Copies of this chain bind each other. A is one copy, B any other.
Amino acid sequence: MRIPILRLGRILLTSVQTDLTDDDAGQLQAEVLQLFHRDVADGLVLDISGLDVVDSYMARLLNETARMVRMMGGEVVLTGMHPMVALTLVEMGQEIIGIQTAIDLEAGVARLREVIHARDKRTTQGRTTP
């Protein structure tokens, strides 16, 4: 099952509304990175309100995706995390360090715009690799 990725100007939105197979998650990661590679976006809001549980594979994938996007000059905000998912991630020691989070998609888009704005102010050359 392909998860649609929506483009709102230079922000990508994607919402995981059901539990994902490992293949689905891998495909989503590949598509997101492809879009950043094609330079169609400055950032990604990844809504995971549909994830009731995460396993270590998914946690690693979330972490890695965010890190890769930032390597490519983008920013990621994670939204809609269930309490149980937060609990699991912390217990696994897989806290999503370095990923901005927000309560829902609207807050996530606002947060991402702030992050991108702050980043663009820091550099005059546009994109910067952290």
Question: In the complex, which range does the number of interface residues on chain A fall in?
Answer: 20 to 34
| A101 beta carbon closer than 8 Å to chain B | no
A95: CB under 8 A from chain B? no
CB pair B8 A109 closer than 8 Å: yes
Chain B residues with Cβ under 8 A from A3's Cβ? 4
Question: Within the assembled complex, what's the spacing in Å between the Cα atoms of A79 and B29?
Answer: 25
Stretch at the interface among A11-19, A81-89, A119-127: A11-19
* Bound complex: CA A17 to CA B3 (Å): 9
Question: Could you tell me the distance between the alpha carbons of A104 and B9 in the complex, rounded to whole angstroms?
Answer: 9
Which residues of A are at the interface with B, using a C-beta cutoff of 8 A? Answer: 1-9, 13, 15-18, 47, 50, 104-106, 109
